[in-house]
Amino acid sequence: MTGKFDIFELLIGDPGERDYEKKPVIIQGITGNFGSAHARLMKAYGTNVVAGITPGKGGQDFEGIPVYNSVQEACKNVDAKISGIFVPAPFFLKAAKEALDNGIKLLVAIPEHVPVRDAIDVVEYAKSKNARIIGPNTPGVIVPEITKIGIMPHQPFKPGTTAVFSRSGTLMYEVSFHLSKAGIGQRIALGIGGDPINGTNLIEAFELIRHRDDVESVVIVGEIGGDAEEQLAEYIMKINFTKPVVGYIAGRSAPKEKTMGHAGAIIYGNYGSAESKISSFTNANVPVAKRPAEIPELLLRKMKK
Amino acid sequence: MRLLEYQGKQLFSEYGIPVPVSQLALDEQEALEASKKIGFPLMLKSQLTVGGRGKAGAIVKCSNESEFITKFNELLHKDVKGELPKGILVEGMINIAKELYVSLFLNRGKRCFTLISSNEGGVNIESVDSKIIIDLPHTGLSKELVQDLATRLGLEAKPATLFVDFILKLSHLVKDKEAELAEINPLAILSDGSCMALDSKVIIDDNSIFRHPELKKFQQVSELQARAEESGFSFVELDGNIAIIGNGAGLVMSTLDLVNDNAGKPGAFLDFGGRATTETIYQALEVISKIPRIKAILVNLFGGIVRTDLVAQAILNAYSDGIIGVPIYARISGAESVKAKEMLAGSRAKIYDSVEEAISSLMSHVSGSSS
């Protein structure tokens, strides 16, 4: 199902390549408040933002980044395989398909409140194009000190060999902050997204780093809702995943049948409950931290074994 | 958005899915009128969004008018798991020959819709062994697929035909209305072979409501909730006395857990999202100020991009405008946090470097003032 999709190839490339560590990125919705603020921050971080797209604003220039009317127009002028989408949720479906139709292979879907039907459509469409979606409702993906596509602040992230996969944005920052403080840097931090449908789910995220020597450990930041953590736990046991893994689950005290901020964070009966996730992780020999600040300690202990 | 039973049944009727004759009653007068129209015996069903109504005694049978009034008033004022009914559905009795279970829901892991059915309806499906599970192709449910299902469920000629029609209609409803779940338990097969939905549990994708104006009438939003949503916040009212505010759903949930671990009782969950400005924080404090039982506010803000001095300014404004009168315990990390601390010195707000420290100070205040 996951094929041989290589996110590192897309994000960083090989040392021999001209654009090694400088892979071109386009920003859809670059002239909106949100898109422009983050395009600026990404560029400042070192992300090679080569074009922006806003229909009707083609020909303009955003702080040295050329703006085009469509992805098609942009892709005639630049050779980007990565797009960050910052359009409002109702326009996501159209923007995403447009990107996939024009050779984008990694689509970072920032918008929150994308309808489930649109998310399923886009994920299916991406599969047919051998492309990958991160999100929707994700803070994006960062390879510390190389590139970031998303809305995360860069301060919490330091380069290293851990992978952080998180269903929550702010907790991804919080956990990475604690890891960095403890001297554990990250090779990659990727926001799975807070919605019920994730373009890259936890298992698919694990597949991205499974065979990589530059990733030595994994931190999972899960939360209530759905059964992605339970399925991940089964996967970890089934493939006998050997890198040290530590987990955290937010929402232990959340009431049932209430959407806790994220569209995907809702418990029905035992389905989606924190207890179910924690017991699955424990069963798969993945220690679960009680507090975000406890994660580095658990990981260091696990790495020593 | 979880629809109430009667709302779900309204949708069913629109799609030609048979339901028993019924009428919603909000008071005794309406109930009496409904009973006259429907006739005895009949059922009274409390309209709640929480599950487990049957077990909680919120569904009762009435044989005559004298017990009807008593039972109606009892149900109308009976809360189940803290929720009062939004009316009572008065419904005609149905003679059931056989009960099935059907659920069509969003399968998050497989990113498709899945149909679960069983010929053991009317009970908790989790305890049933004989479930038939079909993952729907992205093209939707085909007639052949449902015909095959009817056979596997052991339905005979007439009920099988009507069942196929029933399920196809349900699948249209789920698709058109962008439901995440449509569960019918039980789906009754009557003695004449027809199918009928005796209950409904329908959940609509909240994020799709913008293209379904026809469903807006079903939204049950408290005034406070509406206010919070207007400002772009995610807000859940809880029953404790500590309001928890932060930037990010996961972070606020995590803070809720920490408060709970320290024997605190969260009274509100408020996520003001990624764009924290002086104005949004002020609005968040305004929402919280409308909950009288709140004794303290815990702010957990992980910054970086967020300017914490803007947050400090909002807190100062809220105090000087008299919006809030309770102390604020804040963990604010991020840009300008030294400045933010200086700004708040001398106010009723205290800033801490870690959320653990903020909670421990907050707890000594809350437990001190309640004893």
Buried b (16+ CB within 10 A) or exposed e, B158-170: ebbebbbbbbbbb
Residue B239: count other Cβ atoms within 10 Å of its Cβ: 11
CATH topology of domain A155-304: Rossmann fold (3.40.50)
Interior angle at CA B199, CA B197 and CA B204, nearest 5: 100
Question: Which tokens in the block code for residue A242?
Answer: 């050997």
pLDDT level of residue B205 (50, 70, 90 thresholds): very high
pLDDT level of residue B368 (50, 70, 90 thresholds): confident
> Tell me, what's the pLDDT at A1?
43
* AA letter at A42: M
Lowest mean pLDDT among A26-35, A51-60, A176-185, B48-57: B48-57
CB contact under 8 A, A258 and B236: yes
Q: Domain residue spans in chain A? A: 7-134, 155-304
Q: Does the annotation mark A178 as catalytic?
A: no
Whether A3 shows a pLDDT value over 70: the answer reads no
Q: Where are the alpha helices (DSSP H) in B153-231?
A: 157-177, 223-230
Residue B342: count other Cβ atoms within 10 Å of its Cβ: 13
Pick the CATH number of B21-92 from 3.30.9.10, 3.30.1490.20, 2.40.33.10, 3.30.230.30: 3.30.1490.20
Which is nearest to A108 in space by CA: A254, A10, A16? A10
Which is nearest to A286 in space by CA: A243, A239, A254? A243
Lowest mean pLDDT among A13-22, B200-209, B271-280: B271-280
Q: What is the pTM of this model?
A: 0.95
Q: Domain residue spans in chain B? A: 21-92, 96-215, 223-370
Question: Which tokens in the block code for residue B145?
Answer: 């697929």
Separation of CA A297 from chain center: 24
Backbone angle region of B334, left / alpha / beta, with phi > 0 → left and psi within -120 to 50 → alpha: left
Instruction: Give the closest-approach CA distance of B151 to chain A in angstroms.
Output: 30
Whether B121 shows a pLDDT value over 90: the answer reads no
Cis amide prior to A111 (ω within 30 degrees): no
DSSP bridge pairs for B99: B188
Whether B327 shows a pLDDT value over 70: the answer reads yes
Whether B371 shows a pLDDT value over 50: the answer reads no
> Tell me, what's the pLDDT at B304?
67
> Tell me, what's the pLDDT at B339?
86
CB contacts of A156 in chain B (<8 Å) are 304
Structural element, H or E, at residue B108: none
Q: Sort strands A140-143 and A132-134 into parallel, antiparallel or unpaired.
A: unpaired
- Could you tell me the strand order of the sheet in which A48-53 lies? A61-62, A65-68, A48-53, A24-28, A82-85, A106-109, A132-134
Lowest mean pLDDT among A11-20, A165-174, B118-127, B201-210: B118-127
CB contact under 8 A, A257 and B266: no
Which is nearest to A29 in space by CA: A80, A69, A77? A69
For chain A, give the percent of residues with pLDDT over 70.
99
Tell me the average pLDDT of chain A: 96
Whose tokens are 């709302």? That residue is B7
Pairwise pLDDT comparison (B60 vs B220), residue with the higher score:
B60
Q: CA A99 to CA A70: how far, in whole Å?
A: 9
> Tell me, what's the pLDDT at B126?
77
Q: CA A262 to CA A267: how far, in whole Å?
A: 12
Minimum-distance CB partner of A194 among B211, B249, B259 = B249
Pairwise pLDDT comparison (B303 vs B313), residue with the higher score:
B313
Question: Which tokens in the block code for residue A206?
Answer: 């694990």
ipTM of the complex, rounded to two decimals: 0.95
> Tell me, what's the pLDDT at B52?
82
Within an 8 Å CB–CB cutoff, is residue A153 touching chain B? yes
> Tell me, what's the pLDDT at B369?
60
pLDDT level of residue B51 (50, 70, 90 thresholds): confident
Helix (H, G, I), strand (E, B) or coil at B143: helix
Whether A243 shows a pLDDT value over 90: the answer reads yes
Q: CA A58 to CA A64: how far, in whole Å?
A: 14
Q: CA B96 to CA A201: how far, in whole Å?
A: 43
CB contacts of B261 in chain A (<8 Å) are 253, 290
Chosen from B251, B300, B355 to mutate, greatest number of chain A CBs within 10 A? B251
Lowest mean pLDDT among A222-226, A295-299, B158-162, B220-224: B220-224
**Average pLDDT, integer, range A149-153:** 95
pLDDT level of residue A201 (50, 70, 90 thresholds): very high
> Tell me, what's the pLDDT at A129?
96
Cβ atoms of residues A95 and A84 within 8 Å: no
Q: CA B36 to CA B31: how far, in whole Å?
A: 9
Whether B305 shows a pLDDT value over 70: the answer reads no
Chosen from A253, A266, A276 to mutate, greatest number of chain B CBs within 10 A? A253
**Average pLDDT, integer, range A86-97:** 97
Q: Give tens-digit pLDDT for B333-366.
A: 766 778 888 898 889 999 888 999 999 999 999 8
Tell me whether domains A7-134 and A155-304 share a fold.
yes
Within an 8 Å CB–CB cutoff, is residue B232 touching chain A? no
What distance separates the 2 farthest-apart alpha carbons in chain B?
80
Question: Which tokens in the block code for residue B79?
Answer: 């809360």
CB contact under 8 A, B254 and A290: no
- Domain boundaries B96-215, corresponding CATH code: 3.30.470.20
> Tell me, what's the pLDDT at B335?
66
CB contact under 8 A, B180 and A89: no
What is the radius of gyration, based on Cα positions, of chain A? Answer: 19
* AA letter at B193: G
Helix (H, G, I), strand (E, B) or coil at A88: coil
Cβ atoms of residues A123 and A197 within 8 Å: yes
**Average pLDDT, integer, range B19-40:** 96
Closest-approach residue (CA) in chain B for A249: B254
Residue A13: count other Cβ atoms within 10 Å of its Cβ: 15
**Average pLDDT, integer, range B20-38:** 96
CB contact under 8 A, A255 and B251: no
Minimum-distance CB partner of A261 among B50, B266, B271 = B271
Backbone angle region of B195, left / alpha / beta, with phi > 0 → left and psi within -120 to 50 → alpha: beta
- Could you tell me the strand order of the sheet in which A288-289 lies? A147-150, A140-143, A186-191, A159-166, A217-223, A245-250, A288-289
Separation of CA B114 from chain center: 21
- Domain boundaries B223-370, corresponding CATH code: 3.40.50.261
CB contact under 8 A, A265 and B249: yes
Q: Sort strands B88-92 and B22-25 into parallel, antiparallel or unpaired.
A: antiparallel
Q: Give tens-digit pLDDT for B216-236.
A: 999 888 889 999 988 889 999
Which is nearest to A90 in space by CA: B226, B232, B207, B174? B207
Q: Does the annotation mark B33 as catalytic?
A: no
Instruction: Give the closest-approach CA distance of B246 to chain A in angstroms.
Output: 9
Class of domain A7-134: alpha beta
For chain B, give the percent of residues with pLDDT over 70.
98
Backbone angle region of A141, left / alpha / beta, with phi > 0 → left and psi within -120 to 50 → alpha: beta
**Average pLDDT, integer, range B233-251:** 95
CB contact under 8 A, A168 and B138: no
Tell me the average pLDDT of chain B: 92
Q: Give tens-digit pLDDT for B162-177.
A: 999 999 999 999 999 9
